[in-house]
Amino acid sequence: MNEWWRGAVIYQIYPRSFCDSNDDGIGDLAGIGSKLDYLAALGVDGVWLSPFFRSPMRDFGYDVSDYRDVDPIFGTLGDFSALLKAAQSKGLKLIIDQVYSHTSDQHRWFKESRAGRTGPKADWYVWADGKADGGPPNNWISLFGGQAWSWDTRRRQYYMHNFLAEQPDLNFHNPEVQAEILDTAKFWLDRGVDGFRLDVANFYFCDKQMRDNPPRRTAGGFARPYQHQQHLYDRSQPENLKFMEDLRRLVDRYPGRMTVAEIGSESYVARSIEYTEPGRLHTAYNFLLLENGPLTANLIRSAIESWTSASAWPSWSFSNHDVVRVRTRWGGPAASDAFAQLLLGVLMCLRGTIFLYQGEELGLPQAEVPFDRLRDPEGVRFWPDGLGRDGCRTPMPWKGNAANAGFSSVEPWLPVDQRHGELAAGKQERVRSSTLNLTRAFIQFRREHRVLRLGDIEFLDAPEPVLAFRRSDSSSRLVCVFNLSAESVEYGLPANVRRLDYGLPGALRAGRAALPPWGGLVVEESPRGLER
């Protein structure tokens, strides 16, 4: 059984912002292809591409108008096939985003569905009559603010949208919809992709009775209307799990392919486990470490220990295209390179599959994007209290001394933060101790030590700010100790250990870990009492 994904490091690419090959200010598939050597040298096992399908780009690709074609701004199906072949020739797996919960309102399915209540696709989306007073069918709220219902004058009904009004939700209660989505997955599997990242995987089904969501009693401190409800009926329905099983059966017909769910839920880990039990998806990541803070040893420990299932496999990430970059989110605007390097060192020692977001290996902080340059509809709506997602989606800096940091020769779709130019990949290549080169070393260390990829994890008692845990399997035992503070600390280690060269600053002195600010140490337990 080829379970390459188990314990792997997978690199997320946001195509619009990775590399522009044709000088239109937008990244593309050919640009990604030109950086495959960089990705191979980084040492990652695979790449996840955020959406590159045809789309009017109201939500920048997460509003799909054709699941089986490439949007011209990114290239062609031929360009995708060339990228896939080139990536796999370099030993890189390629998984692609699949957005099944909803489509664009420009998708031909929705155009047919809204044309009337009796057509072939009339029931392909979630439609409902309004209440007697003309109001929406229930109290469901969109994640982007406002009601999750929009009135359509043609059908004289409301349609549901968990996100933008331009992103109507598919009706998965309709077997024809399920069959079409499975056929879409088969289309890409037949083309040779190595798997899928499933956008909002627990959002496919809603309650057939369309019951109101109850209020969330602790909602007073939340900024977004969506957070003021318990989402009992607009997501995470029991029928959703059956569809996950159907999808898994399809994927299992293609050896070596995998699925990873994005789970959005207040029950972060419990819901992720539910979706990755045997017969369902291969793994899932959630927002527990993407939305919560500040950084403490207890935060990391409680997250990892909350994954209590022995049969389901976890995934973890500190950054992605939807949240403030982790260097800034946990470290503040003045966070140092050493802080960013510590975070990467911790991440690469965790049990599970690891997702690394583009630029994280460079230690990029959250970019500053002025209001007049914001493109994210969420950011525009909630400005200035929420700056949205543009700050983590700005172009990848390749060359510090080039226009737009080498991303494009023309003005890119989002501005390049000047601080990012100073952290460009080309600059860091030449510095042995750079965040980029340390990330390469961390990934290589993880690859060389099977116990870090597949072994068990056991947290050790340690006072804040020390994070300490043991990784073990039948042949190896490593103890990983990290200092999550700007002050030097010491921590007593088990007897009979020897220091391994992990790359973070830290020393083994008389059986104790001596850790400078943001330092770390990995030691191997040995019955022979080797110590150095």
If phi over 0 gives left and psi between -120 and 50 gives alpha, with beta otherwise, what is residue 452? alpha
Q: Which residue, 21, 28, 39, is CA-closest to 93?
A: 39
3-state secondary structure of 423: coil
Catalytic site residue from 169, 262, 360, 390: 262
> Active-site residue 239, yes or no?
no
Burial of residue 174 (number of CB atoms within 10 Å: 0-12, 13-18, 19+) = middle
| Cα–Cα dist 37/90, whole Å | 8
* DSSP sequence for 183-233: HHHHHHHHHT--EEEETTGGGS---TT-PPPPB-TTGGG-SSGGGGB--SS
Q: Which residue, 328, 402, 334, is CA-closest to 360?
A: 328
Catalytic site residue from 169, 194, 199, 417: 199
Please give the biggest Cα pair distance in the chain: 79
Residue 430: partners with Cβ closer than 8 Å, 6 or more residues away: none
Q: Which residue, 52, 87, 462, is CA-closest to 296?
A: 462
What is the residue whose two structure tokens read 């949205």?
388
| Cα–Cα dist 229/274, whole Å | 22
* DSSP sequence for 440-484: HHHHHHHHH-HHHHHSEEEEPP--TTEEEEEEE-SS-EEEEEEE-
| Cα–Cα dist 38/11, whole Å | 12
DSSP secondary structure code for residue 181 in this structure: H
> Active-site residue 199, yes or no?
yes
Q: Which helix (H) or strand (E) holds 345?
A: helix 337-347
Q: How many residues does the chain have?
A: 532
Q: Which residue, 19, 40, 21, is CA-closest to 94?
A: 40
Q: Which helix (H) or strand (E) holds 48?
A: strand 46-49
What is the residue whose two structure tokens read 């089904």?
205
| Cα–Cα dist 434/49, whole Å | 26
3-state secondary structure of 439: helix
Q: Which residue, 61, 75, 67, is CA-closest to 28?
A: 75
Count CB atoms within 10 A of the CB of residue 486: 13
Q: Which residue, 459, 461, 521, is CA-closest to 488?
A: 521
Q: Can you say whether the dihedral through the CA atoms of 272, 276, 281, 284 is positive or negative?
A: positive
Rg of the chain, C-alpha, whole Å: 23
| Cα–Cα dist 435/496, whole Å | 31
| Cα–Cα dist 471/459, whole Å | 9
Give catalytic residues, as residue numbers.
199, 262
